[in-house]
Chains A and B, each alone.
Chain A
Amino acid sequence: MSLVTLFLLSVMVFLGGQVLPGNVGRAILGPFADQRAVDALNHSLGVDRPLLVQYGSWIWNFLHGDMGTSYVFRAPVAPFVVDALGNSMKLALVAFVLVVPIGILGGVIAALNFNRPLDRIISLGGLSVTVLPEFVTGIILILIFGVWLRWLPIAAAWPKGAGFFTQLYYLILPSLPLFLVLFGYIARMARSGMIEALDSDYTRTAVLKGLPWRTVIWRHVLRNALLPTITVIATQTGYLIGGLVVIETLFRYQGIGSLIFTAARGKDFPMLEAGILTIGIVYAVATLVADFLYSVLNPRIRLGAEQ
């Protein structure tokens, strides 16, 4: 499945980056350049070959670590992409480490207070912040914590050689909009999983056989309730990546999102293609890891596969 997505993405990236823009040489050299110069450049860039050949060699090179040469920097794309990916991972990790436990906790608390005011507040609040575009929550958070309270820096650009905690300090504000978008989804899934598990026969049995409430929740309810949540967390990686493009632009953070954005702005197609395809690979890996985790945590699937 993830492979189909990756293939489709690569075709789209290829079409978008190399076919639709038309004459690459003309685009680089401008409308007044000599036709022979344009042809020569097209030939040296290899864009005068048949499409299938171009696609094949592009993928082949990509898989061997050659992501092409940036039109803008006139340098290999790969180091830029690797650096940016590392930065994005840091930001995404901060957001994830914050949102997964807090989101699950929110959902569990909401479910345990089903239909009471606390449930309403968590559910409605979570839903409202989830539907807002990241840059809107980002702007509002910047205004509150960066401009009015002056607690947090408004740009995610730490001084060179900053240590772990300084970097973390700079990453809190950018990770908050991502946190808010994901919080609603995770909390909602955790809540509905909990409600279903609380309502089940095995929970009733556990309560009736006299187990303490704490044990019922930990051993019986949570284990079953959180399985669907794990799947949701994995599918959210896609949204997280979409959000990164916006957030990194807003906070001027040198990640893969702002790399894509800058490349798109500058029509630097090799950079744009490499960035997007890299994101696609990250997404595919995340989905695989989630499938694996799910089967580890869910003995029913594991046993089913062995039979």
Chain B
Amino acid sequence: MSATDTPVSLPTPDTAQRSPWGEVLHSLLRSGTFLTGLAIVVFWIVCALFGQHFVPYDPLASDIIDALTPPAANHWFGTDQLGRDVFSRVIVGSRDILTVAPLATILATIAGTALGLVIGYFRGIVDDIVSRVLEAFMAIPVVIIALLAIVALGTSKITVIVVIGLSFAPIIARTVRSAVLAERELDYVAAAKLRHEGALHTMFVEILPNVIPPILVETTVRLGYAIFAVATLSFMGFGIQPPSPDWGLSISSNYGMIGGGFWWTVLFDALAIASLVIGVNLVADGVHGAFND
């Protein structure tokens, strides 16, 4: 088929015309929600990558004599029960959650996309059975699934990534499935079939690029929930393990004493989690808006 048969795809001379992706980027950069969220997320990424070089103290170094001192000039956020500097720990504490949560999200996206493409493309009995199972699966709270799996398999970062990744995969699969159901009726899919392209080629080469927008939106939303889940699991002792300065973990080891008024040992970690979760959700909201305008 020669290019002249498809005049639609010819580049238009109008220079003001942007590509669809340029359009999305343009509206992202004009969205206050997105930029605010991005600033927060980038701040924590920088802390995760370079934090240990600029924090005033070693986040793991304990100093029992200086334990539980309230915030002061030499310890901005005070010290915890082992005399570790809370400010340094909060800054460096973003590292593990920002490794585990994105990896879990990526795993969920890959598994969910593959599954969604297959059930959306073949429909019929495969779709019926798999969809019912996925719905049933989604009804179970992630914390419960994670607790069960981690107790059975033992705690490690890999387990947490796999468990959260697999429990989020059905949600992404559902999104991809409904996008594929709409796409598979379009002419370009019929054309691929007429060319005798295999099912795999049609799914991954023809349809996949056209369902990227909903996948991207769902992935950013899932990232927020992945951070939620990792933080919660770490708080419960089933996620990131000591001696990591992880936020959820720090809260779990210090909250027993807040009745004694040692608020600084947990407040800053809680605020850090809150800011990261809200930041990611603002980004997700911006991405959603950019694709749906």
Interface residue ranges, A against B (CB under 8 Å): 1-2, 4-5, 7-9, 12-13, 15-17, 20-21, 127-128, 131-136, 139-140, 142-143, 146-148, 154-155, 238-239, 241-242, 245-246, 249-250, 260-261, 264-265, 267, 272, 276, 279-280, 283, 287
Contacts and interface: CB of A to CB of B under 8 A. Distances in A.
B32 to A, nearest CB: 12
B125 interface: no
Contact of B263 (A17, A143, A265): A143
A276 B270 CA distance: 28
B147 interface: yes
A246 B235 contact: yes
Interface stretch (B79-87, B113-121, B133-141, B189-197): B133-141
B232 A276 contact: no
Interface in B145-202: 145, 147-153
A261 B139 contact: no
Nearest to B237: A265
A28 to B, nearest CB: 15
Contacts of A15: 152
A131 B145 CA distance: 20
B151 A272 contact: yes
A242 B258 contact: no
Given A5-B140, A246-B235, A283-B139, 6 more contacts: A7-B136, A20-B153, A128-B281, A135-B231, A250-B255, A280-B140
Q: What is the interface of chain A mostly: helix, strand, loop, or mixed? A: helix
Contacts of B144: 241-242, 245, 260, 276, 279
B59 interface: no
B156 to A, nearest CB: 14
11 contacts: A15-B152, A16-B148, A16-B152, A132-B277, A136-B251, A136-B274, A136-B277, A139-B258, A239-B141, A242-B141, A242-B143
Contact of B231 (A2, A133, A146, A154): A133
A267 B147 CA distance: 11
B229 to A, nearest CB: 8
B133 A135 contact: no
Contact of A142 (B148, B258, B273, B277): B258
A172 B177 CA distance: 42
A133 B139 contact: no
Given A140-B267, A264-B147, A246 B232 contact: yes
A8 B141 CA distance: 13
- Give me the 6 closest cross-chain CB pairs, A-B, nearest first: A242-B141, A20-B152, A16-B148, A5-B136, A242-B143, A4-B136
Nearest to A235: B139
B162 to A, nearest CB: 13
A133 B235 contact: yes
Contacts of B153: 20
A304 B59 CA distance: 64
Interface string B243-267: 0000010010001001101010011
A131 B278 contact: yes
Contacts of B57: none
A133 B141 contact: no
Contact of B261 (A20, A147, A249): A147
Contacts of A267: 151
B237 A127 contact: no
A103 to B, nearest CB: 19
Contacts of B248: 133, 135
A242 B237 contact: no
A276 B267 contact: no
B117 to A, nearest CB: 23
A2 B140 CA distance: 11
Contact of A135 (B147, B148, B235, B267): B235
B40 to A, nearest CB: 12
Interface string B6-23: 000000000000000000
B53 interface: no
Nearest to A241: B141
Contact of A249 (B142, B148, B151, B236): B236
Contact of A4 (B133, B228, B238, B255): B133
A5 B139 contact: yes
B224 interface: yes
B34 to A, nearest CB: 15
Given A139-B267, A245-B147, A264-B151, A133 B255 contact: no
A135 B237 CA distance: 13
A218 to B, nearest CB: 33
B277 A246 contact: no
Contact of A139 (B143, B228, B251): B251
Nearest to A148: B263
Nearest to B273: A136
B139 A238 contact: yes
B142 A242 contact: yes
B251 A135 contact: yes
B57 to A, nearest CB: 23
